[in-house]
Amino acid sequence: MARISENNLWQATAAETFYADSLTEDLKVDLVIIGGGFTGCSAAIEAQKQGMSVCLLESNNIGHGGSGRNVGLVNAGLWTPPDDVMSILGPEAGEKLNKTLAAGPSEVFKLIEEFDIKCEATCNGTLHCAHSPKGFTDLQNRFAQQEKRQAPVELLSAKEATILTGASGVFGALLDRRAGTVQPLAYAKGLARAAQQLGVKVYENSPAIHTSFKDGVWSVKTARGTVKASYLLNATNAYMQGNIEHYSSSFTPVYYFQFATKPLDDEFLNITLPEKHGCWDTGTVMSSFRLDAAGRLIMGSIGSLEKMGKGVHTSWIKRKLHKLFPQLKGIEFEYSWHGRIAMTDDHLPRLIQIGDSGISMMGYNGRGISPGTCMGTAIAKYFVHGDPSVLPIQPTTSYQQGFNSMKELYYETGASLTHMVKDY
Ligand SMILES: Cc1cc2nc3c(=O)[nH]c(=O)nc-3n(C[C@H](O)[C@H](O)[C@H](O)COP(=O)(O)OP(=O)(O)OC[C@H]3O[C@@H](n4cnc5c(N)ncnc54)[C@H](O)[C@@H]3O)c2cc1C
């Protein structure tokens, strides 16, 4: 087997290119956004469209965080089923969030079309695959919850799911026709390009190193410039660097890794995910698989490729490939990378009010393409109109959860042990 490079496939194949200078001057705008992922870029687009002047600061390059590392499943709703969202938030607030996020994929695909973002978008549904008979029972429950909301979902038998995936050991699947896939880094870069074309001042390699709020004005300092603004959005999520004043929040960092093969030959592509659905499964230690536009098979699961479990995860992914797709025996992996997810204790995102005119958004719990796009857009509308009812969730003044390091260790150790003992 060829040496597996520590390379992110999305960086190697993004058709959208985006470069911006770093900030070297003092600026005054209506809205300053810190963080260039889906949340920050979609907020920038909406605020600029609605007449605000906007500056977006990214500490590295656009898509450096979760937005440039994820699986690319553009799913509707959160990972938490809609009835559970209502139990946690209450019926009214829960249904509001459910409804907004149910329309999330169409928001994403609309932006892709509007700005002609070249991000390998497919929108013919995703498959949530049952990894066991118990997993199928979970899917039946999820199906019932979606069906009563008239969502366009179908519960597929093991036979139907096997035909659509080409995988062995799939006990059924939930097909959600609202959903699809993207090349996530290209989507993030395309959003940034669109924002810039609309007039947003985007700066890369410009970490915000200090923020302050005085007399109704935010001041955000970078190494070589300052941005003053009436409104501030902290969209740094799981990748926040440095300290952002007035901002207090916490989450459990959970890692997710992916491996990608070389492009498959046509004989395999005819039977492996023939309709190019993006898939993930019902396993407690979840795993995912999908194809990219060139026909590479991309598989992933929970775990870090930098911590003690690296060898275990690397060995497991090879077993998993051969178990799921015996027809691909001998196919090599050419790319591997991982990313950090911000998990909250109840698996719901948090919108945090900072001062009178600042918002911080975090904690999509591994479901941030549609939610990040919807939340960024909604936050921009909130800043423009000052009406909190446009927000899909109500802001809190802070969010703190305890024992995050212990919980991180729990997730990583759990994933490593599962990958060690499971035959795939
Ligand atoms: C491996 C993985 C797989 C995933 N798979 C999926 C999936 O299939 N579907 C899905 O919907 N979601 C998925 N997610 C979740 C999704 O990727 C995230 O929720 C989403 O990208 C979050 O977007 P964001 O804009 O809020 O944050 P990010 O994309 O993390 O952006 C934050 C940005 O802030 C920048 N930043 C940090 N500090 C500063 C500072 N001081 N100054 C300036 N900039 C700063 C960072 O460099 C970063 O670019 C996955 C996540 C991971 C990690």
Closest CA to 297 of 338, 255, 265: 265
Q: How far apart are alpha carbons 312 and 288 in whole angstroms?
A: 17
Is 368 touching ligand 1 by the criterion CB < 6 Å?
yes
| 3-state secondary structure at position 367 | coil
- Where do the H-state alpha helices sit in 14-126? 38-49, 82-89, 91-102, 104-114
CA distance 263 to 415: 28
Mutate to test the pocket of ligand 1, among 181, 364, 375 (most ligand atoms within 8 A of CB): 364
In this predicted structure, what is the pLDDT of residue 5?
47
pLDDT at 3: 44
| 34 close to ligand 1 (CB < 6 Angstrom) | yes
Least confident of 56-60, 161-165, 178-182, 266-270: 266-270
pLDDT of 40-53, one tens digit each?
Answer: 999 999 999 999 99
Rg (Cα) of the chain, in Å, rounded?
Answer: 21
> 323 CA distance to ligand 1 centroid (A)?
31
What pLDDT sits at residue 4? 47
pLDDT digits (tens, 9 = 90+) for 66-81: 999 999 999 999 999 9
Tell me if 369 CB under 6 Å of ligand 1. yes
What mean pLDDT do residues 164-179 have? 96
Q: How confident is the model at residue 422 (pLDDT cuts 50, 70, 90)?
A: confident
How would you label 250-264 residue by residue, b for 16+ Cβ within 10 Å and e otherwise?
A: bbbbbbbbbbbbebb
d(C-alpha 6, C-alpha 372), whole Å: 27
Say how many Å lie between the CA of residue 187 and the centre of ligand 1: 12
Confidence label for 302 from pLDDT (cuts 50, 70 and 90): very high
287/269 Cα distance (integer angstroms): 20
Mean pLDDT of 275-287: 96
Give the amino acid at 56: L
Instruction: Give yes or no for residue 285 having a pLDDT over 50.
Output: yes
- Check residue 248 and give its pLDDT: 64
277/424 Cα distance (integer angstroms): 21
Please check the confidence at residue 1 and state whether its pLDDT lies above 70.
no
User: Rounded to the nearest whole angstrom, what is the distance from the C-alpha of residue 145 to the centroid of ligand 1?
Assistant: 28
Alpha-carbon span 274 to 155, nearest angstrom: 18
In the predicted model, what is the mean pLDDT of the chain?
A: 94
Query: pLDDT tens for residues 380-392?
Result: 999 999 999 999 9
Judge contact between 261 and 301, C-beta under 8 A: no
- pLDDT tens digits, residue range 199-222? 999 999 999 999 999 999 999 999
What DSSP string describes 292-333? -TT-EEEEEEE--SSSTTHHHHHHHHHHHHHHH-GGGTTPPE
Strand partners, 219: 212, 228
Instruction: Please tell me the distance between residue 10's alpha carbon and the centre of ligand 1 in angstroms.
Output: 14
Which of 9, 41, 46, 58 maximizes ligand 1 atoms within 8 Å of its Cβ, making it the mutation to test the pocket?
Answer: 58
Helix, strand or coil for residue 164? helix
Task: Indicate the pairing of strand 126-129 with strand 278-281.
Answer: parallel
pLDDT of residue 242: 81
What percent of the chain has pLDDT above 70?
97
Collapsing DSSP to helix, strand or coil, 143 comes out as helix
Ligand 1 near 58 CB (within 6 A): yes
Between 56 and 248, the higher pLDDT residue: 56
Atom of ligand 1 nearest to the CA of 288: 8
**252-260: average pLDDT:** 97
The percent of residues above 90 in pLDDT, for the chain, comes to: 91
- Beta carbons within 10 angstroms of residue 113's beta carbon: 10
pTM beyond 0.95? yes
Between CA 308 and CA 302 the distance in angstroms is 13
The 3-class SS string of 202-267 reads: EECCCCCCEEEEECCEEEEECCCCEEEEEEEEECCHHHCCCCCCCCCECCEEEEEEEEEEEECCHH
Is residue 11 over pLDDT 80? yes
Q: Residue 136 C-alpha to ligand 1 middle, in angstroms?
A: 30
Cβ(235) – ligand 1 distance below 6 Å: yes
pLDDT score of 247 more than 70: no
In this structure, the dihedral spanned by the alpha carbons of residues 146, 151, 157 and 163, taken in order and rounded to 10 degrees, is -140
Structural domains in the chain plus CATH codes = 9-421 (3.50.50.60)
